[in-house]
């Protein structure tokens, strides 16, 4: 029996991934600064609430919830109408020496919020900040595995944001994140062109070409009919 899918809520994207993400999967959303990662993630949460009635949880490790809320309001989104379905939560700084103890506490808080709201969509912004609390790549890998498994058990579909540095072939900052997630979506920005590439999507026959996208006053719109040459990508 096929697993249920959850719409990405990004216009044009689901045509490239068999109609949506597998329910309970974890997706790494990567790209350089200014490529549109946060907009994509906010749209995943907001449109999920608006179009599908899905409760969403946006977890931030850098910006405060108020800033994220105002970022959402900068688009033509009726945030107030769906605020009962959307929750923002900030994880405070954790010292590396206290990480093991505090990480488990935060995971339990997240699980409790997911259960209380019956959360279907979750965002972690970002794994880049998350990794700064770790003492080693092994600890990062274990922690992300644990979190992804917990969310999968709760049938919560999650997006983990990672800011990359370097060229077009880099899909994560630390080379760990891409191995603990079910899918990888990479965003690019070569002014004035923006592009999206699906590196992997477990359990899905996904498109393997690069496609352009635009950012409108309602968010990201992917053009699945047009293609961009891989050789033209830089950032």
- Count CA atoms closer than 13 A to 203's CA, side-chain side: 16
70: domain CATH number? 3.40.50.300
Query: What is the per-residue pLDDT for 10?
Result: 98
Instruction: Please tell me the distance from the alpha carbon of residue 184 to that of residue 171, in angstroms, as a whole number.
Output: 8
Residue 6: φ, ψ to 5°: -120, 130
> Which residues are bridge partners to 201 per DSSP?
183
* Total domains in the fold of the chain: 1
At residue 187, the 3 state secondary structure works out as strand
- Dihedral (C-alpha) 163, 54, 155, 172: value to the nearest 10 degrees? -10
Task: Answer yes or no: are the C-beta atoms of 28 and 185 closer than 8 Å.
Answer: yes
Q: Rounded CA gap, 170 and 99, in Å?
A: 27
Instruction: Domain of residue 70: give its range.
Output: 5-232
pTM of the model as a whole: 0.91
Neighbouring CB atoms inside 10 A of 49's CB total 22
The one-digit pLDDT tens for each residue of the chain (235 residues) are 356 999 999 999 999 999 999 999 999 999 999 999 999 999 999 999 999 999 999 999 877 778 888 889 899 999 999 999 999 998 876 665 666 678 888 889 999 999 999 999 999 988 877 777 777 778 778 888 888 888 888 889 999 999 887 777 777 677 777 888 999 999 999 888 999 999 999 999 998 899 999 999 999 999 999 999 877 776 5
Distance between CA atoms of residues 202 and 115, nearest Å: 25
Distance CA 25, CA 152 (A): 6
CB 49 within 8 A of CB 82: yes
The predicted pLDDT at position 234 comes to 60
Say which residue the tokens 């697993």 belong to.
Answer: 3
> d(Cα 223, Cα 235) in Å, to the nearest integer?
19
């Amino acid at each position: 029996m096929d697993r249920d899918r959850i719409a990405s809520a990004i216009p044009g994207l689901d045509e490239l991934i068999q109609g949506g993400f597998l329910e309970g999967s974890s997706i790494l959303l990567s790209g350089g600064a200014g490529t549109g990662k946060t907009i994509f993630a906010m749209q995943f949460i907001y449109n999920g609430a608006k179009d599908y009635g899905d409760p969403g949880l946006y977890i931030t490790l850098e910006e405060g919830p108020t800033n994220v809320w105002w970022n959402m309001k900068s688009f033509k989104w009726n945030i107030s109408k769906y605020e009962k379905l959307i929750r923002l939560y900030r994880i405070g700084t954790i010292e590396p020496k206290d990480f093991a103890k505090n990480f488990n506490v935060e995971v339990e808080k997240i699980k409790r919020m997911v259960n209380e709201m019956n959360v279907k969509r979750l965002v972690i912004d970002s794994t880049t900040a998350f990794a700064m609390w770790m003492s080693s790549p092994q600890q990062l890998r274990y922690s992300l595995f644990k979190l992804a498994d917990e969310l999968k058990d709760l049938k919560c579909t999650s997006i983990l944001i990672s800011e990359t540095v370097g060229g077009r072939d880099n899909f994560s900052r630390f080379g760990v994140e891409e191995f603990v997630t079910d899918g990888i979506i990479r965003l690019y920005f070569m002014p004035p062109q923006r592009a999206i590439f699906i590196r992997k999507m477990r359990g899905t026959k996904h498109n393997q070409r690069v496609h352009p996208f635009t950012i409108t006053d309602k968010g990201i719109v992917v053009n699945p009919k047009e293609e961009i040459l891989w050789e033209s990508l830089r950032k």
